[in-house]
Amino acid sequence: MLMMMQGIEVGRNLSSRLTETSFTKGRYRLHLGNDGDLRLLTLNPETLLESDIYFAYYASNTKNQNPGIQLVFNESGYMYVLQRNNSRFYLKQDVPVSSKDFYHRAVLHFDGVFVQYYHPKGGDGGWRWAWSQPENICAKGFGTDLAANEVGNLACGSNNICILGDNQRPRCECPERFVLSDPSDSYGDCKPDFEMHSCGAKSNQTDVSLYEFVTLEKTNWPSGDYKKYSNYNEERCKASCLNDCFCAAVVFRTICWKKKFPLSYGHRSPTGGSDTFIKVRKLTAGVPNTGRRGRTRDWLIITCSVLLGTSALVNFILLYMKRNKKRMAKKPNQRRYTGAATAHDLNLRVFTYRELVVATGDFVEELGRGAFGIVYKGVLKVSGDSEVSVAVKKLDRVAQESEKEFKNEVKVIGQIHHKNLVKLIGFCDEEQSRMIVYEFLPNGTLASFLFRRPRPSWEDRRRIAVEVARGILYLHEECSEQIIHCDIKPQNILLDEYNNPRISDFGLAKLLMINQTHTLTNIRGTKGYVATEWFRNSPITSKVDVYSYGVVLLEIVCCKKAVDLEDNVILIDWAYDCFRQRRLKDLIKEDLEALDNMDLVERYVKIAIWCIQEEPGKRPNMRKVTQMLEGVAQVNDPPNPSPYNTFTCAESMSN
Query: In angstroms, how far is the first alpha carbon of the chain from the final one?
Result: 50
The amino acid at residue 278 is I
Beta-carbon contacts of residue 311 (< 8 Å; ≥ 6 apart): none
Q: How far is Cα 515 from Cα 562, in angstroms, rounded to an integer?
A: 26
Cβ neighbours around 416 below 10 Å, total:
19
Q: Do β-strands 170-173 and 424-430 pair in parallel, antiparallel, or remain unpaired? A: unpaired
What pairs with residue 475 in β-bridges? none
Of 181, 353, 151, nearest to 267 by C-alpha is 151
Which of 244, 429, 487, 545 is catalytic? The answer is 487
Tell me the Ramachandran region of residue 373: left when phi exceeds 0, alpha when psi lies from -120 to 50, beta otherwise: left
Beta-carbon contacts of residue 33 (< 8 Å; ≥ 6 apart): 10, 11, 39, 63
What's the residue count for the chain?
655
Burial class (CB in 10 A: 0-12, 13-18, 19+), 239: middle
Note if 298 is an active site residue: no
What pairs with residue 494 in β-bridges? 445, 502
Q: How far is Cα 544 from Cα 314, in angstroms, rounded to an integer?
A: 42
Given a contact cutoff of 8 angstroms between Cβ atoms, the answer to whether 168 and 132 are in contact is: yes
560 annotated to bind ligand: no
Sign of dihedral through CA atoms 246, 252, 257, 261?
A: negative
What pairs with residue 17 in β-bridges? 25
Of 447, 466, 393, 460, nearest to 425 by C-alpha is 393
Q: Give the gyration radius of the chain's Cα atoms.
A: 28
Burial class (CB in 10 A: 0-12, 13-18, 19+), 99: middle
The amino acid at residue 27 is R
| Strand ranges of the sheet holding 225-229, from the earlier edge strand across to the other edge | 211-216, 275-281, 249-253, 255-259, 225-229
- Residue 445 is given by DSSP the state B
Catalytic positions are 487
Give the annotated binding-site residues for ATP.
394
Give the annotated binding-site residues.
394
